[in-house]
Chain A
Amino acid sequence: MMKNIKNTINKIVLGVAILLTTSVVAHAGIGITPADIVNENLKPGASFTTEFKLSRSGNLNEISIVVEPDYGPISSWFTVKPGKVMTFPQGQRIMYFQISVNVPETAEYKDYKGAIHVTALPDDADVKGVMITQGLQLNAQLKLTEEDIEKLSITAIKTENVIKGSPVKIDITAKNEGNVDASPVAKVKVMDLQQNLIEEHDISNLGVVKSNETKTITGQFLSNLEIGEYFLEVEVFLDSQSLRKERLVLSVTEDKPVVATTDDDSKDQKSSIQSLLGDNQEYILWIVAACVGGVIIYFLIDKLWNNKPVEEKEKPASVALGSKKSTREILSISFGFLIFLGLFSASLSDAKVVETMVKDSNKDVQGAQDTTVVPEPTFSVLPAQETDTTYPVFSRPDKNSSVIYDAKDGETFDVMESENGWYKVSLPDGSIGWIPEDLIKSKVTEQAQQ
């Protein structure tokens, strides 16, 4: 009996070829997109690049990715960036790589079919038995043709809001899958929000999109659009064939003062100083006036006591009136301060101005009904609002005329007369300017709306 048992055990031990004790472990998922490399419009010497997105789930350990073209003799046409062996970094769910196809000049005109294998080498080295390595296959289908093929697709059309008077820019992303260069053109219809046609523009200088290239080309046009929102209907053509028509929304925003841009830091600094001076010009003038007044008083007092006898200068009353330098300084500084206070008080009491700049938000959107009552120029003052918004004051009652002053939100002006929707006003420097009524609301108007 014992002998039988021993023989049996020996037989089992000697006969074990494969012994697996580990449980089956499920792999994480892996995927790739796109799943094909297809180009049937190639010519000798052509090249193109496709980007692939590799994704995974579950275990996010660092693994190696191997990309291997299985294309026989033309496998050398393929290059992989960053390389045929890549690292999928730990913790990362997505990685990208590129495969470029470079067709030699000597390539034969025919169809080429093959595949590219992407293999994820497992990191679980402790798994016993037959480890499963996951792979993904990319179908590859290339064709070299003598025929000239135009195949341009427009993948996106975009525009950005513009400042009134600036060129309107249209960005068009085009993908040329043909084997000849393409020069698309565009037609742009500008419409108001009621879809009434306002302007039409042809853009013919968009540029060239080379074969197998995806590129964003930009066209632009000048328009006379007022502030507001508009529809742009952009249609892109290649050889009179419409490729894509898109309707966009364009916002034309208010004018801003032109700020000179330069690479010279010192000029930038100068601009800042000028800007500071401009914003606080009134206060700076008051300070200068106060200083000048103080200096004048100083020298007047000095001259007054210059020829007086020393005994008289030493009297307390004389000292108080500036016979000594220290008291002269105090007196002149005090006088300058009084000048500043006087100017400041005068500015506060200047209450005869009749208009207040208040932004009318309805005017920014076409189609909105404006119920503002046009005010007569006999008003009282509204409190000024502390904002950075500025409004243009024109040299003539014409929005195409030059802007001679940037009025602040809440700034007030004397109205000299009104004419066809424009107010003739007196500017702080004494000159005359014109303000369109759509930038103005009087206090009366504000109350009427309440």
Chain B
Amino acid sequence: MQYHADPTDINTQFDAQNWLATVKATDDDSSGHSAESSSGVELNSLVAFSIGASISYGSLGVGQANDPLDRTLVTTATGNVGLDQEHSGASEMCTDYPTCLGATPIPVGYQRYGLSAVAYSSGTVLTVTPVEVELNVPKVTTSTPTTGTTWWGISIPTGIVAGTYNGANTITAVKGEIANW
């Protein structure tokens, strides 16, 4: 799914313009005439992206963390606008996700993210409420995809028993600020 044509609807670079069609007819003597449609077509924005299906934090002991943040999540813009994104997570990770009736869960706030491989302590705390991240993935203009990367990590709090913990984070694509397309 790729969609390169510039949108002309609201909150875009060309919201005062429309797409017009020009037809040029040329005869075998190379004489020709062209005509342009009087009223154009409004091309809507398409917010579209693809992203990895999961984050694998690896094996960690109690008190250990991905420090610096070392798990990457790549966002690829596939629509016709530049993208930012919002991050949020389920309230907790647990061994029997999503029911979470078993062992002590890991609260969402132990996950952190950043726009580079910063120290875990410098990462942004993941919350249940979506928070916008200025990822600034440029609009696609060629067949080469444009991407943005976020770095992720988790710290294992004390009192957590051994096991495989699962959870869910939501990454929401947001139309970016026009200046960053």
Interface residues on B, range: 35 or more
Bound together, the chains give a CA A137 to CA B45 distance in angstroms of 12
Judge if B38 is at the interface, Cβ distance under 8 Å. yes
Q: Is the CB of A131 within 8 A of B54?
A: yes
Q: Which residues of A contact B (CB under 8 A)?
A: 11-20, 22, 24-36, 38, 55-58, 117, 119, 122, 124, 127-137, 139, 141, 154, 244-247
Q: Is the CB of B93 within 8 A of A130?
A: yes
> Residue A137 contacts which of B1, B50, B173 (CB distance < 8 angstroms)?
B173
Q: Is the CB of B166 within 8 A of A33?
A: no
Query: With a CB–CB cut-off of 8 A, which chain A residues contact B48?
Result: 29-32, 55, 136
Bound together, the chains give a CA A27 to CA B178 distance in angstroms of 26
Q: Is the CB of B50 within 8 A of A30?
A: yes
Q: Is the CB of A31 within 8 A of B49?
A: yes
Q: Which residues of B contact A (CB under 8 A)?
A: 1, 3, 9-11, 38-39, 44-62, 64, 73, 76, 78-79, 81, 86, 89, 93, 106, 111, 130, 154, 156, 160, 162-175
Q: Is the CB of B45 within 8 A of A36?
A: yes
Residue of A nearest to B58 (CB): A20
Q: Is the CB of B45 within 8 A of A14?
A: no
Q: How far is the CB of A1 from chain B (nearest CB, A)?
A: 23
Q: Is the CB of B45 within 8 A of A33?
A: yes
Q: Is the CB of A130 within 8 A of B162?
A: no
Query: With a CB–CB cut-off of 8 A, which chain B residues contact A26?
Result: 50-53
Query: With a CB–CB cut-off of 8 A, which chain A residues contact B170?
Result: 119, 132-135
Q: Is the CB of B46 within 8 A of A17?
A: no
Bound together, the chains give a CA A19 to CA B38 distance in angstroms of 62
> Residue A18 contacts which of B10, B57, B130, B173 (CB distance < 8 angstroms)?
B57
Q: How far is the CB of B61 from chain A (nearest CB, A)?
A: 3
Bound together, the chains give a CA A36 to CA B174 distance in angstroms of 11
> Residue B39 contacts which of A13, A15, A119, A246 (CB distance < 8 angstroms)?
A246
Query: With a CB–CB cut-off of 8 A, which chain A residues contact B39?
Result: 154, 244-246
Q: Is the CB of A20 within 8 A of B56?
A: yes
Residue among A14, A124, A132 facing the most chain B CB atoms (10 A cut-off): A132
Given contacts A25-B53, A31-B78, A127-B54, contact A15 B172 (CB under 8 A): no
Q: Is the CB of B60 within 8 A of A33?
A: no
Nearest 6 A/B pairs, CB to CB = A31-B48, A15-B61, A135-B172, A29-B50, A25-B53, A17-B156
Q: How far is the CB of B137 from chain A (nearest CB, A)?
A: 13
Q: Is the CB of B171 within 8 A of A24?
A: no
> Can you name 17 A-B residue pairings with CB atoms under 8 Å?
A17-B62, A17-B156, A17-B165, A18-B106, A18-B164, A20-B164, A25-B54, A29-B50, A35-B11, A35-B46, A129-B56, A129-B165, A130-B169, A131-B167, A132-B54, A134-B170, A134-B173
Given contacts A17-B160, A17-B162, A135-B170, contact A33 B44 (CB under 8 A): yes
Residue of B nearest to A244 (CB): B39
Q: How far is the CB of A388 from chain B (nearest CB, A)?
A: 35
Q: How far is the CB of B6 from chain A (nearest CB, A)?
A: 13
Query: With a CB–CB cut-off of 8 A, which chain B residues contact A122?
Result: 53, 168
Bound together, the chains give a CA A12 to CA B62 distance in angstroms of 10
Q: How far is the CB of B41 from chain A (nearest CB, A)?
A: 8
Bound together, the chains give a CA A129 to CA B163 distance in angstroms of 11
Query: With a CB–CB cut-off of 8 A, which chain B residues contact A32?
Result: 46-48
